[in-house]
Amino acid sequence: MGLSLVQSRALLGLEAASVTVEVHLANGLPSFTLVGLVETEVKEARERVRSALQNAGLEFPNNKRITVNLAPADLPKDSGRFDLPIALGILAASGQIDNAKLAGHEFAGELSLSGELRPVRGALAMALALHTRGVATRLVLPLESALEAALVPGGEVYGAKHLLDVVRQFVATDEEASQLPDTTDDGWARISAAPDTTPPRYADLAEVKGHTGVKRVLEIAAAGGHSLLMVGEPGSGKSMLAQRFAGLLPAMHIDEALESAAVASLGGRFATERWRVRPTCAPHHTASAVALVGGGWSVTR
């Protein structure tokens, strides 16, 4: 019998709550059970993890009763972000990697059937949660997600391309690492975000001809930090002026940029080239008030 603990994080709104992936191997009828308020895409990790381990040349304990618990049990878990920590937990519980070396790390990543790591949404929110709490924890993510998470200052983020790239870092000895199958190249690296000193480019308000009064109002609102509501007929220039309004505002502070990027990351819409660029959204004119502000929640006191 074997027990291992691997740390990860789940997304709950704008928060990235800590999750402990507990893996227990026991004698009995072979099975693979996932518990802990998991959604369908998390349950499907059983097949992804099994195939990824076997195709990567690692041993899957087919003759064991495998129980995986994602704690806390009352926190909803979704997406394929738990594939990597589940796979590492199985390897640690079966003695293929050193369980003690997993301490001080948090993992997230979706596995393909061949063992390749695929990016997950909310990577920046995970790094921001560690930064906010001042936790000195190494974050291990797929390479694309690591580039995003590295934007948070002071974090220690590692990126990997393949499951084997991660496993090599946590085997007990260098001799065991050399016995693992080779990958195409070195897919493990610490990721550091290069500081971008280039100011973001916005559409220029000087390009607008006319609308003298409206442009004056935009300048006053930007200078005083006021809210702004533009009302007018379709085609009167509201969206055009709104797109240029961001260019009047001061550069985003690092905390503002992190919060804005974290929201975009949760929706899978963040791109590193949009870092510290003030977002401008253009909802369709038929969108309801509920669609604009969000709905679907009810509170009972």
Q: pLDDT confidence of 196, banded at 50, 70, 90?
A: low
Backbone angles phi, psi at 249, to 5 degrees: -80, 155
The pLDDT, as a whole number, for residue 281 is 79
Residue 103 has pLDDT above 70, yes or no: yes
Residue 185 has pLDDT above 80, yes or no: no
Return the higher-pLDDT residue of 202 and 65: 65
Alpha helices by DSSP H, listed for the chain, are 40-43, 45-55, 83-93, 123-133, 143-149, 163-167, 174-178, 212-224, 238-245, 254-266, 289-293
The 10s digit of each residue's pLDDT in 134-158 is 777 899 999 999 998 998 888 899 9
| Structural domains of the chain, with CATH | 2-191 (3.30.230.10), 205-277 (no CATH)
The CA distances from residue 194 to 4, 28, 140, 215, in Å, are 36, 52, 19, 36
State percent of the chain over pLDDT 90. 54
Strands 15-26 and 110-111 turn out to be unpaired
Question: Given phi > 0 = left and psi -120 to 50 = alpha, else beta, which region is 37?
Answer: left
Return the higher-pLDDT residue of 277 and 291: 277
Tokens of 45: 């990790």
Nearest to 8 by CA among 74, 66, 87, 64: 87
User: For the chain, how long is the longest CA-to-CA vector?
Assistant: 79
Of the given ranges (29-43, 101-115, 215-229, 268-282), which has the lowest mean pLDDT? 268-282
The pLDDT, as a whole number, for residue 8 is 97
- CA dihedral of 139, 142, 146, 147, whole degrees rounded to 10: 170
The pLDDT, as a whole number, for residue 189 is 92
Distance CA 121, CA 105 (A): 19
State percent of the chain over pLDDT 70. 92
CB distance 93 to 2 below 8 Å: yes
